[in-house]
A and B are shown apart, each in its own frame.
Chain A
Amino acid sequence: MTRLTSFASPSRRGVLKGATAVGAAALVTPWGTPLRAQPVRGGTLRMGMAYGSTTDSFDPGTWENDFMIFQAHTRNNFLTEIAADGTLVPELAESWEASDDATEWTFTIRSGVEFHSGHILTAEDVIASINYHRGEDSTSAAAPIVADITDMRADGMNVIFTLANGNADFPFIMSDYHLPILPAREDGTIDPLTQDGCGPFRIVEFEFGVGASYARHEGYWKEGLPYFDALEQISIFDSAARQNALISGEVDYIDTADLNTVHLLEQAPGVNVLSITGTQHYGFPMDTRAAPFDDVNIRLALKYGINRQQLVDTILNGYGSLGNDHPIGPGQRFFNTELEQREYDPERMQFHLREAGLESLDVDIHLADAAFAGALDAGVLFAESAAAGGINLNVVREPNDGYWSNVWMQQPFCGTYWGGRPTEDWMFATSYAEGVPWNETYWSHERFNELLVSARAELDESLRREQYFEMQQIVSDEGGIIIPMFAAYVGAYSDSLAHPDQIASNWRNDGHRLGERWWFAS
């Protein structure tokens, strides 16, 4: 249940930095970060995963849950890769460069890359793979993010993309999990249901909603990788069953631990809990067009009515940090350090209610645990604390089934989560800019929209910082979403596993590349 990475994109500087990282990273190790201990090859990694459904498919346009997204990075490679430290590094593209207006991008494809089937990577494979998601009759979930591509052509091992609008962050898009590079057929298309790929592991057996097993791809181009001989993904939907499997040694790693019992899991012998805080955050969006949320005072009253510390301690069991009603995490470059942390304050609630001309207020909030784990409990705590300030919050339980199509962005007050985006611009442009499809609060702020465009092109870092600081301030004070907490990705693994010092925070499972980054400690 992870969201699509967006069609909006990170900053120009982010790309420049990514491009310099190309050279630097290639000098150290071609695949990313320095390693703590000398990794050992061998063993079969068995992973218990919280997701996976019998309705999954090999079609890359349909990938939406962590089981299939992990599969995507285990079986496949992409043009670009987000390294563990968050920078963009080359993968199947050795390098890339843009025209001055950033409408034409030339990617140089790595030569000699071997698919599991023995096929050798060509520029045509890249074109066919991306083409699959384009076109009017595309049924791919990635259709919007490649919509700007107007033309692609091959020139030897170069692929030249032409875009309708200049986009300095195009290489970031090419790391999206929907866009694996698959072998082209004679007619220049890919077979979307193929099990072939050029990633670190090849599929041995795959049963949707049950599990998958892989064996090492002996011809993998990243030298020495992967460390594991074989890998198994097992779909264990029930959280207690998943933890049992880890404790009893049936699996070596679980991607999601139950936050209610994680403190007990931590004490189990031979078990380590892995907690990665990044940009994932939970929130309660309000439809800023609908009464009473069209009044900024009501929104502020609600923002003061939530006890953030209590939510982090209770719902996240401490595995997370306080949110300040804007989506930028404390680890990010332009995180606004001057913004005062909003606290629970019933008196200010009443002040803002009076400003709005009200004594008390009754509102419904529509929640399901599909919004985020513990959303219903969070709603209950919110209702308890808001009552002290004169707002009667009524928690309406919605079914998990169909939550994202029937409740989210349909009900005026509900719950949401965001995996977050690697850059400020990407995040703001995805869900806060006026009129974008996922503007879940239907918010429109003139000054904010101006700043968004100017900051994207601003090369002076201090000016840029100022602009992003102001944008965070605006979202926090006038925006339509309450963001009480940033949640860590919490998984657990057995003592027998070892991992690099730095673990990626862009997704779960070490950026879903755990299969080629981890190893068994000897």
Chain B
Amino acid sequence: MLGFLTGLFWVAVVVIAALAAGWVFRTAAIAVAPKKVAKALRTAPLTASFGMLMILVYIVVAIFAPLIAPFGETEVVSVRNAAWDDQFLLGTDNLGRDLLSRLIYAARNTVGIAFVTTALAFIVGSVLGLLAATIGGWFDQIVSRAVDVLMAIPALIFVLLLLTIVGQSIINMILVIALIDSTRVYRLARAVAMNIVVMDYVEAARLRGEGLWRLITREILPNAMAPLVAEFGLRFCFVFLTISALSFLGLGIQPPLADWGQMVKEFSGLITFGIITPLLPAGCIALLTVSVNFVVDWQLHRASGLKE
């Protein structure tokens, strides 16, 4: 019981600290941002502000990783599994590399890979989806049936199969995961766009003789943006999970590159003995996921036009 109460207390402390950080960030951002942005920022709830702050921190860490990390990414600096101390703030990993440095470098690799993969999946998926909805007819039929087939094969097993065939490299991994992910994006984009293409204003634009490209970028995309952005938030974090699951099944990122998904897998056995090291990379993934989705929620809320 006491343990539960202490736990609750710490959760409350963390939540309040996070919200306070969000508030500070929002106030500061409003002060320095241009007028238009500042106005939008004023509507941001504290959770979204906290999310933006965290995303900013991740970006900074990723870009300046070599400057921030106390040791090199692959440098063996101590004995294996060293405890937390002043020199190695989070101890060392199973090869004696500084864990904090690995986590920092992983921000660069993991977020980079996840971002490229998700972006690729969204470009391919939404372009095809919007085209299918707008053109319709045989184009829609062919692409939709092809996507149906691809989706009918379990994603993880399909990735496993494709990666074994094409060989393992970061590029291949990005391409294969993006291919599988893009089918999910396609479905969503097409479904959303289908509801939009029947609207009067799209019909009117068609009659005005607007070209296909203009029709999509000017009339349909802006109105389909909200659900797509919401999906982006979730898809983004699913990439970490896919990489992690792949390394569970024996594939994954090329060593000695640091990657959170892989690190969770490597350390996960320790949790059995009540050692919290594996929670660190998992926490990095979770924090980023939550942050991104807080911001997404705020944007969705703005897009829904709901006044509260």
Contacts and interface: CB of A to CB of B under 8 A. Distances in A.
Contact, chains A and B (beta carbon distance below 8 A)? yes
Interface of A: 239-240, 243-244, 247, 258, 260-261, 264-265, 268, 310, 313-314, 317, 368-370, 376-377, 379-381, 383-384, 395-402
Of the listed residues B74, B163, B250, B268, the one surrounded by the most CB atoms of chain A closer than 10 A to its CB is B250
Given A314-B96, A399-B163, A399-B164, 9 more contacts: A260-B270, A261-B270, A310-B76, A314-B80, A314-B95, A381-B76, A395-B256, A397-B168, A397-B255
Contacts of B253: 397
A396 B275 CA distance: 31
Interface in B72-125: 74-76, 79-80, 94-96
A432 B113 CA distance: 44
A383 B271 CA distance: 29
**Cβ-closest 7 pairs across A and B:** A400-B250, A264-B273, A240-B269, A380-B256, A261-B269, A397-B254, A376-B255
Nearest to A381: B95
Given A243-B272, A247-B272, A314-B94, A402 B164 contact: yes
Contacts of B268: 240
A261 B251 contact: no
A23 to B, nearest CB: 49
A401 B164 contact: yes
Contacts of B163: 399
Contacts, number: 71
A401 B80 CA distance: 29
**Interface size class of chain B, counting residues whose CB lies under 8 Å from the partner chain:** 20 to 34
Contact of B251 (A268, A384, A399): A399
B256 A383 contact: yes
* Interface SS, B side: loop
Nearest to A396: B254
A268 B95 CA distance: 23
B168 A380 contact: no
A317 B268 CA distance: 17
A377 B255 contact: yes
Contact of B269 (A243, A310, A376): A243
B2 to A, nearest CB: 24
A377 B256 CA distance: 8
26 contacts: A239-B269, A240-B268, A243-B269, A244-B272, A247-B272, A260-B270, A264-B270, A268-B273, A310-B76, A313-B79, A313-B80, A317-B80, A368-B250, A370-B250, A380-B74, A380-B256, A381-B95, A395-B255, A396-B254, A397-B168, A397-B252, A397-B254, A399-B163, A399-B164, A399-B168, A401-B250
Given A314-B94, A397-B168, A258 B269 contact: yes
A42 B253 CA distance: 49
Interface string B215-253: 000000000000000000000000000000000001111
Contacts of A260: 94, 266, 269-270
B64 to A, nearest CB: 24
A189 B94 CA distance: 53
Contact of A398 (B80, B168, B270): B168
A268 B275 CA distance: 13
A243 B268 CA distance: 12
A268 B273 CA distance: 9
Contacts of B95: 314, 377, 380-381
B255 to A, nearest CB: 5
Contacts of B269: 239-240, 243, 258, 260-261
B94 to A, nearest CB: 5
Nearest to A400: B250
Interface of B: 74-76, 79-80, 94-96, 163-164, 168, 250-256, 266, 268-273, 275
Contacts of A258: 269
Nearest to A385: B76
Contacts of B275: 264
Contacts of A381: 76, 95
A266 B197 CA distance: 65
A313 B96 CA distance: 11
Contacts of B256: 380, 383, 395
A139 B270 CA distance: 43
B168 A261 contact: no
Contact of B272 (A240, A314, A370, A402): A240
Contacts of B272: 240, 243-244, 247, 261, 264
Given A398-B168, A399-B168, A261 B273 contact: yes
A240 B268 CA distance: 8
A4 B95 CA distance: 32
Contacts of B273: 261, 264-265, 268
A397 B270 CA distance: 24
A282 B272 CA distance: 28
B250 A369 contact: yes
A260 B96 CA distance: 12
Nearest to A370: B250
Contacts of A268: 273
Contact of B255 (A264, A379, A400, A402): A379
B140 to A, nearest CB: 37
Contacts of A370: 250
A380 B271 CA distance: 25
A118 to B, nearest CB: 45
B269 to A, nearest CB: 4
A388 to B, nearest CB: 11
B13 to A, nearest CB: 30
Contacts of A239: 269
Contacts of B94: 260, 314, 377
B156 to A, nearest CB: 14
B104 to A, nearest CB: 18
B85 to A, nearest CB: 19
B80 A384 contact: no
Of the listed residues A244, A247, A401, the one surrounded by the most CB atoms of chain B closer than 10 A to its CB is A401
B255 A380 contact: yes
A313 B80 CA distance: 8
A395 B256 CA distance: 8
Nearest to B271: A240
A396 B75 CA distance: 18
A317 B81 CA distance: 10
A314 B76 CA distance: 11
A395 B254 contact: yes
B36 to A, nearest CB: 48
Contacts of A376: 255
Contacts of B96: 314
A242 to B, nearest CB: 10
Contacts of A240: 268-269, 271-272
A214 B5 CA distance: 49
Nearest to B254: A397
B250 A384 contact: no
Contacts of A244: 272
B110 to A, nearest CB: 16
A379 B255 CA distance: 9
A314 B275 CA distance: 19
A263 to B, nearest CB: 8
B98 to A, nearest CB: 13
